[in-house]
Amino acid sequence: MAEFQRDPLLDFTGKVALITGAASGFGALLAEALGRRGARLVLGDINEDGLHAVVDKLTAQDIEVQAVTCDVSSETDCAAMVALARENFGGLDIAVNNAGIAPPQVHFEEVDEETFDRQHSVNVKGVFFGMKHQLKLMRGQKHGIILNVSSMAGIGGAPKAAAYAGAKHSVVGLTRTAAVEYARHNVRVNAICPFFTLTPMVAGLTPPPGASVEQLHGLLSAGCPMKRLGEPEEVVNAMVMLCSPALTYVTGQTLAVDGGVSAY
């Protein structure tokens, strides 16, 4: 068994945690953070090579993990992840719907139908399909925790990212609706809304014409009271807290991890 902290608030001993988008970024870091605290993991990602690398790293730490290639825009794939948790570990305590894709930076009137559909297929359907099957299993167990990864674009405007903002607002709506509907079954559903954070997704954003990546990051940082982008570990620390089995009276919430942006 991997070493983990025994603080009751951070003790995930024996808990079964499912994470989508686990091949990199928040998903990979969260898998390690929960695994080190005793969780048994079910991981999915469309990036098969990246997923295998994460599994190898976790296995080397004696963390118990199952993994499957998963395209979250496919309900069949999302259902298969939940089935994997049930069949291998006997149930599912925590589900983190983290998989998502970055927005193209274009003006509202320039968003084409293909871009709009792709954003909603991954960023909305991926959360909806995951929750649909996670909730069914958790309702039968009469316990569970679901955390959905939205964005600051899910609780405010996002210039030049209309399709992304619409998708991430939908994640918040799904979160709140499920929280109200399933509270009676002791299933808690929350969302986290990060500001720009130095993950591979943000690193892959295309700078404006004539600008460098560093200049782009400077422009993004200027809108934050802390005048910097977030570190992935800062967001993952908040995710761990929201997944805590001890956080028993918190549901239907959207937590902004944003360096103070939402305080404006």
Long-range contacts made by residues 168-171, C-beta under 8 angstroms, separation at least 24?
168/123, 168/193, 170/120, 170/123, 170/124, 170/127, 171/123, 171/124, 171/127
DSSP states of 214-233 as a string?
HHHHHHHHHTSTTSSPBPHH
Three-state DSSP class for residue 12? coil
Indicate the SS3 state at residue 191: strand
* DSSP codes joined into one string, 80-102: HHHHHHHHHHSS-SEEEE----P
Contact 259, 29 (CB under 8 A): no
- Reading across the β-sheet that carries 254-257, which strands appear in turn? 65-69, 40-45, 16-20, 94-97, 144-149, 187-194, 254-257
The catalytic residues are 164
Query: What pairs with residue 19 in β-bridges?
Result: 43, 96
What is the DSSP-derived secondary structure letter of residue 4? -
* Distance from C-alpha of 65 to C-alpha of 196, rounded to nearest angstrom: 29
CB 98 within 8 A of CB 53: no
